[in-house]
Amino acid sequence: MRGAVHSTRPTPLAAAVAVALILSTGMAFAETATDAEAARVKELDAVRVIANPEDPQSSTGSAYVLTPRELDKFERGNVNNVLRSVPGVYTREESGEGVFPRISIRASSSGRSDRISVLEDGVPAAMAPYANTSAYYFPNIGRMSSVEVLKGPEILLHGPHTTSGVVNLLSTPIPDSAQGQLKAELGSFDTRKLHAYYGTTAGQWGFLLETYQNRGDGFHNIDRSDLGAGHDINEYVGKVRWSSAPDARFSQQVDLKLHYDEETARVSYLGLTDADFRADPDRRYGLSELERMDRGRKSASLQHQIGFTDSTWLTTTAYLVDTYRYYDRLNQVNGVNLGGITDIVNTGGANAALLQGILQGTANTTHPNGVRYGHNHQAFVSKGLKVELEHGFATGDVQHTLTTGVRYHEDTTKNVDKGRSNSYYAQVNGDLVYLRTDFVTPQRGDADAWSAWLADRIEVGNWSLLPILRHERIRSRANLATDATPAQIAARNSNSIDKTTAGFGANYALNANWTLLGGVHQGFAPPGNGSAEGTKGEESTNFEAGVRYRNGSFGMDAIGFLSDYDNAMRTCLVANPCSGGVVDGTEQTGSKEVYGLELGAFATLYDNGAIRVPLRLAYTWTDGEYTRDSDTGSVLKGDVIEYTPKHIGQLQLGVEGEGGWNAYAALNYSDGAYTTNTAGRPGVDDTYQRTQSLFTVDVAAAYPLSSTAEVYARIDNVLDERRITHRGADGARGNAPRGYAVGLRLKF
């Protein structure tokens, strides 16, 4: 038996488990009897990414927390709207409803939130954060209790995307006592939302049961079709917690979280010509009526915390995430691939009149492929184990909090064999007539990664210092299907990356109110499993410096930043094609510099005990350019950085009454931006390569009916301003029109 054990090679995941057991055992044996009697685990919610959320200015980097109170103000269901209130975060509407969030931090990327680390309760939320970085799945903001946004050197504690920042979405916590809540909302476009949960803690056990339901018809109208353009979301969450007895030698806590989600969204990659957008921004062309996204997720996480002393604790988290994305999408019209159709019409190119007629439904297709739909049916499995040890100690007058951890992570991606690759239709008299279907070619890829980090929070006098190191060891492969075609086998890509990055952050308290901060760190982002051997990830050096002020109900953060990308990278997608229309893999885009200023402020303008007037401001100014040609020549030195508005901001103003009633207004502004790096070149006509500036006003109010019931109402885009906010994958796309919602909150 012993020989059998010695001859068996442990899997990487088993090795990570062994590391956790060794660390735990070693700490237990090191504990003295005296220490054990006094041991109490420090209050630690390991799902957070900000060290002290009640005092975020203590962070050595830029840190913002949107509390439950902030989220309740407007009861948003669109994460793009929520994150407008955080400086340094850029959001861009594609569908108008936040189905495909495009979130960038400090102009990190023009893609689909693919250069930020998105976490839910501290666990990677992307479908495959190493193998396929684009966020075609994003946790629904409507069921979250709070949001953290972290930038600066501290993001090296998380990863794998450390070039810009971290967004951590915190789900509903298990309550300390029996309680629950129900939110029911009705809104424009037949939108119906229900969010309910109930939980309790009794003795050493606690639990939470939760559901989130959201459905609506959407605001787009599809030509000649009875199909809606809306969405249908059904989510269920269950949590169980066990805590050790108060007199236990070591304080421990075990949390199990199970999550199930299925969604349908009738979205389209096809926008409108500019003329058609001006005439009716709510329109969708009839040949897009079959486009549909079905996606869903099953996930489980198990977290164990053990405290050996007040200042030493070990946290182990195992997680498994299974996500599917089935997208039937339009990708060619009359032989023209998506990405060039509306451009031909806008600029009067070859066969512009015919294409315009096909879009309008007044002309029949003439190409043998007619209208081609691709069936992009993919599944992603991510799993991992994270072990992190934190230990506090003192050396003389210097206080240290040492953090060290290791994570093993595996990604597997594959297409789901439903027997279909592309389906072809002819458009005849405005109707789609089925022609034929191609069979699918199997595809599979994977990635595995070891990451490790070491940081020391040092407190000495008025200084707070954070030196930090992180290492990523990534192995990725693509085109692994056993029955792949000879061409696919020949094109099989594998890549190996070993990358060590470092950072240093510092705070200096001038007095009880003023704090100076500064930091520098090396950023990194993996290139995905389609990259060839020798492909580097995205690399950057990031600087920030600023000042914070806190004095009771007034606070201000002013932080300047410079991100110097030595190796910028673009993820190639249908919705974000690379040069030559490539929609797979990644493209190196030379180097770029992005710099700017983030300004955040909050204040109470008036408070007489009966009436309170709060204010909240978020503003970001950004500029930059590409500083080196790309290898392919698609990017040239001096090119503009796409989808980076110079000015974005939100001003919130509220009135809160003594009886619990309140009303808020949010004024939102975003500059127009170039949609391609070539737009600013001499002689280039950028008429159809820009988005438009947008100013909107949202208002919301709530009134308590009793101590347990409250009604609320919201009007989004009060002025009904409509602008082009995105151009892709093909055509002009815009923000949502004026919308209304009324709801009821019940606590029990």
The pLDDT value given to residue 490: 57
- Judge contact between 62 and 151, C-beta under 8 A: yes
pLDDT in tens, 13-70: 344 433 333 333 333 333 333 333 333 333 445 577 776 666 655 678 899 999 999 9
pLDDT-derived band at 11 (thresholds 50, 70, 90) equals: very low
If you average pLDDT over residues 536-558, what whole number do you get?
94
If you average pLDDT over residues 359-370, what whole number do you get?
97
The pLDDT value given to residue 418: 64
pLDDT in tens, 665-693: 999 999 999 999 999 899 999 999 999 99
- Domains defined along the chain, listed by start: 15-21+39-747 (2.40.170.20)
pLDDT in tens, 717-738: 999 999 999 998 899 999 999 9
If you average pLDDT over residues 240-259, what whole number do you get?
96
Q: Which of 87-96, 216-225, 738-747 has the lowest mean pLDDT?
A: 87-96
Quote the tokens at residue 457. 């929070």
If one compares 345 and 491, the residue with the highest pLDDT of the two is 345
pLDDT-derived band at 576 (thresholds 50, 70, 90) equals: low
pLDDT in tens, 700-714: 999 999 999 999 999
Distance CA 330, CA 270 (A): 7
- HEC letters along 615-644: EEEEEEEEEEEEEECCCCCCCCCCCCCCCC
Distance CA 590, CA 164 (A): 17
* pLDDT(586) > 90: no
Residue position matching structure tokens 């169980």: 240
pTM score, whole prediction: 0.90
Distance CA 288, CA 372 (A): 10
If you average pLDDT over residues 61-83, what whole number do you get?
92
Tell how strand 538-551 and strand 586-588 pair up: unpaired
If one compares 484 and 505, the residue with the highest pLDDT of the two is 505
Q: What letters, b where the CB count within 10 A reaches 16 and e where it falls short, cover 711-741?
A: ebbbbbbeeebbbbbbbbbbbbbbbbbbbeb
Tell me the CB-side half-sphere exposure of residue 372, using CA atoms within 13 A.
19
- Judge contact between 156 and 453, C-beta under 8 A: yes
Q: From residue 602, give the alpha-carbon distance in Å to each of 460, 471, 552, 732.
A: 29, 37, 10, 36
Residues ≥6 apart with Cβ < 8 Å to 694: 668, 669, 670, 721, 723, 725, 735
Quote the tokens at residue 669. 């502004």
If you average pLDDT over residues 97-114, what whole number do you get?
83
- Residue closest to 192 by CA, chosen among 702, 704, 663, 744: 744
pLDDT in tens, 112-141: 788 899 999 999 999 999 998 776 788 999
Distance CA 673, CA 693 (A): 8
CB atoms within 10 A of CB 376: 17
Distance CA 83, CA 188 (A): 22
Fill in the DSSP letter of residue 157: G
Strand partners, 524: 539
Q: From residue 374, give the alpha-carbon distance in Å to each of 601, 726, 731.
A: 47, 22, 18
| Contacts of the segment 243-246: beta carbons below 8 A, 24+ positions apart | 243/204, 243/205, 243/206, 244/204, 245/204
The pLDDT value given to residue 655: 98
Q: Which of 3-7, 449-453, 633-637 has the lowest mean pLDDT?
A: 3-7
Average pLDDT, the chain: 88
Residue 80 corresponds to which amino acid? N
If you average pLDDT over residues 253-266, what whole number do you get?
97
Q: What letters, b where the CB count within 10 A reaches 16 and e where it falls short, cover 430-442?
A: eebeeeeeeebeb
Quote the tokens at residue 401. 């909090």
pLDDT in tens, 419-437: 788 999 999 999 999 999 9
pLDDT in tens, 266-299: 999 999 999 999 999 999 999 999 999 999 999 9
Tell me if residue 368 falls in helix, strand or coil.
coil
Q: What is the largest CA-CA distance in the chain?
A: 86
- Four-point Cα dihedral 284, 583, 327, 673, nearest 10: -40
Give just the sign of the alpha carbon dihedral 29, 32, 36, 38. Answer: negative
Residue position matching structure tokens 């001859």: 7
Report percent pLDDT > 90 for the chain: 75
If you average pLDDT over residues 442-451, what whole number do you get?
90
If you average pLDDT over residues 313-336, what whole number do you get?
95
Quote the tokens at residue 67. 């509390």
Distance CA 395, CA 401 (A): 11
pLDDT-derived band at 483 (thresholds 50, 70, 90) equals: low
Quote the tokens at residue 404. 């060290």
- Judge contact between 714 and 75, C-beta under 8 A: yes
